[in-house]
Structure 1
Amino acid sequence: MAKRIHVAVGVIVQQGKILLAKRASHQHQGGLWEFPGGKVENGESVQKALSRELNEELAITVLSSQPLIEIVHDYSDKQVKLDVWWVDQFSGVPKGVEGQPLEWATRETITSFEFPKANVEIVEAILNSNVF
């Protein structure tokens, strides 16, 4: 069985828009857009991992987050468990610390971005919510 990777994912909302980041071409699913986040380390809570990853990747500090959806997805080479959280309050101005391009998507434009297959359910959950 493929190794399961536990990932904390942030759906970062500001002024009716959601922040997306583009994966580097050398990464798994490279060149596709994603919701920022990263791996949950052993012994780390999902909220702690989310805060740490968003600080490392975007230089923001999470002030408030709520669970949105959990997704388990099998790729041919690995399995991912995505713990997805709304991030509706944060401090700082998001920037691509690792050089990744960032875009703010609206309800009208979010479906025009190309996402990894595991993220399709996140987009559906966002569009079915009353938060965005």
Structure 2
Amino acid sequence: MLNSDRKILSVVSGVIAGQNGRILLAKRPTFKSNGDMWELPGGKKEGSETAFETLKRELAEEIGVHVFSAEYLTCVKHDYVDYSVSAEGWFISHYHGEPSPCEGQTLLWANKQLIANLNMVPTAIDILSIIFG
């Protein structure tokens, strides 16, 4: 449940599946909120962008892939101390390019067992629960 008195950030996260059921994760920079936590690639909506437009822009900027198609999974919400996040999760079904750390972040292909032991942002945990059950 989002607290209506707080700033609400609308973000879009992409689930990219690799070999053997691994999911691509990115580590947040130390200096940002939730620093050093793992997340799904994506980012904040800008202006009047649709979720799919945001997904395409953010994944091109962050990891150098060009998204052609994606399926909506879910929208999850999380309250932090001074702001709230509304995060849409999308499964990337068709993209071009090899994911690479365009912004200097660490990328990791992780399976369900590894993900369970990582320090993940709450919205990523909720989105991945749709994938892993």
| TM-score bin (small chain) | over 0.9
Query: Per-residue displacement from partner, 1:16-35 (whole Å, max 9, x unpaired)?
Result: 22100000000110000000
SS of the residue aligned with 1:4? strand
SS at match of 1:10: strand
Q: How does 1:91-110 map to 2 (within 5 A)?
A: 91-110=96-115
Aligned with 1:110: secondary structure? helix
1:60 aligns with 65
The residue number in structure 2 matching 1:83 is 88
Distance in 2 of aligned mates of 1:86 and 1:112: 22
For structure 2, the residue ranges without an aligned partner over 5 or more in a row are none
The number of equivalent residue pairs is 128
Runs of 4+ aligned residues of structure 1 deviating over 4 Å after TM superposition are: none
**C-alpha deviation, 1:108, in angstroms:** 2.7
| 1:13 aligned residue (17, 22, 27) | 17
* 1:47-102 Cα deviation digits (max 9, x unpaired): 00000000000000012200111011110111010011001221101011110000
RMSD: 1.1
Give structure 1 stretches of 5+ with no counterpart. Answer: none
CA distance in structure 2 between the aligned counterparts of 1:63 and 1:119, rounded to whole angstroms: 22
Where does residue 74 of structure 1 map in the other structure?
79
Name the SS of the counterpart of 1:27 in structure 2. Answer: coil
**How far did residue 123 of structure 1 move?**
2.5
DSSP 3-state at the match of 1:87: strand
Deviation for aligned residue 1:2: 1.1
SS of the equivalent of 1:13 reads: coil
Following TM superposition, by how much is the alpha carbon of 1:121 offset from its aligned partner in structure 2, in angstroms? Answer: 1.1
Percent of aligned pairs with the same amino acid: 38
Q: Are the aligned partners of 1:111 and 1:123 in contact in 2 as well (CA < 8 Å)? A: no
